[in-house]
Amino acid sequence: MPDMPPLTLGSKTAHLPIVQGGMAVRISMAPLAAAVAEAGGVGLIAGSGLDPDELGREVRAAREATDGVVGVNIMVAVRVFKDLVHAAIEAGADVLVCGAGFSRDVFAWGAEAGVPIVPIVGSARVALLAERFGAAAVIVEGVEAGGHLGTDRPMLDLLPEIVEAVSIPVIGAGGVVTGADIKRTLDAGAAGVQIGSRFAATVESSAPLAFKELYVAATDDDIVLVKSPVGLPGRAIRNPFSRRLEAGDHPEIERCVSCLKKCGKDYCIIDRLIMAQTGDVEGGLVFAGTSAARIHDIPTVAELVARLEHEWREAEGEGAPA
């Protein structure tokens, strides 16, 4: 049976067409990114919610643990976006993924350092704009994805339009949890997939056990949309905190460090994400994609990637002509 195709982002090539989503705050850290890179994919550290020094330490730790492709995901919406980008570049990040906004400046910074820039997009128009500015690839994130959403359309609905619109690699994100999902996405024209929620529930993820167990226990009815002060809807797992938001009962902001360029100040999203990452999955915000309802265990990254490859080969075999 054939192997999965590699994924090339600028001058960097991963053995597998799998990008691990950069999940903040402190879910996708050096242990997860390094494990995914070592397994053959692209491992991403989530820079949002970290200070530049902490991000630099995480990148260096991942770089020391693997020769694979290690990158950083940073939300354009964070106020220290430029500082985080430069900290990631200086620490040796192989690639930068940017979402929750669009930055023209980041392409110049990446070009100067020789680091590929990969924006997350939700339309052909933005994908074309990214290509014009020098993007090495784009990630098409559909409505199935976890965290902040930039579209209300399914990934496989958006994907063909964007593949046709640009000549750079297009990576599909949202709802990918099995090798069969990877095959469907590649068959639709994608050069690779980004997988977030499935990697959040692995041994190497920096999420606490209670967070991972919430994923394992989740059903379709448990996956909800919440209002984020960033100004975008967010997809999360229903818990007491999400119910408070549904009722319009926004917790008072005890302190504000103006971490976002624009914030509705309904509540402090960074505080609530940190609460979840430190184990309070009732009072914190637990972001997750729709695929969380199809997650039923907590494997190591190596076990998961081997499973994905096996499932992909099985799906390839089923699709072969008689």
Q: What is the pLDDT of residue 269?
A: 79
Give the separation between CA 157 and CA 289, rounded to whole angstroms: 17
Residue 100 half-sphere exposure, CB side, CA atoms within 13 Å? 29
Same domain? For 47 and 168 the reply is yes
107-147 confidence digits (pLDDT tens): 999 999 999 999 999 899 999 999 999 999 999 998 888 88
Two tokens at 96?
A: 């930068």
Q: Is the pLDDT of residue 173 over 70?
A: yes
| Bridge partners, residue 121, by sequence | 140
Same domain? For 65 and 153 the reply is yes
Q: What is the pLDDT of residue 266?
A: 77
Same domain? For 246 and 184 the reply is no
The CA R_g of the chain, rounded to the nearest whole Å, is 18
Same domain? For 66 and 176 the reply is yes
Two tokens at 106?
A: 């980041």
Same domain? For 241 and 167 the reply is no
Same domain? For 198 and 224 the reply is no
Same domain? For 30 and 151 the reply is yes
Domain-embedded: residue 160: yes
Domain of 233? 209-291
Give the separation between CA 36 and CA 23, rounded to whole angstroms: 14
Give the separation between CA 145 and CA 196, rounded to whole angstroms: 8
Same domain? For 130 and 61 the reply is yes
- What is the CATH classification number for the domain harbouring 172? 3.20.20.70
112-122 confidence digits (pLDDT tens): 999 999 999 98
Closest CA to 36 of 69, 82, 63, 2: 69
Same domain? For 228 and 271 the reply is yes
What total of structural domains would you count in the chain?
Answer: 2
Taking residues 20-44, what's their average pLDDT? Answer: 96
The residue that leads in pLDDT, 218 or 249, is 218
Same domain? For 199 and 254 the reply is no
Domain-embedded: residue 227: yes
Same domain? For 137 and 274 the reply is no
Domain-embedded: residue 310: yes
Same domain? For 103 and 174 the reply is yes
| Bridge partners, residue 43, by sequence | 70
Give the separation between CA 218 and CA 207, rounded to whole angstroms: 16
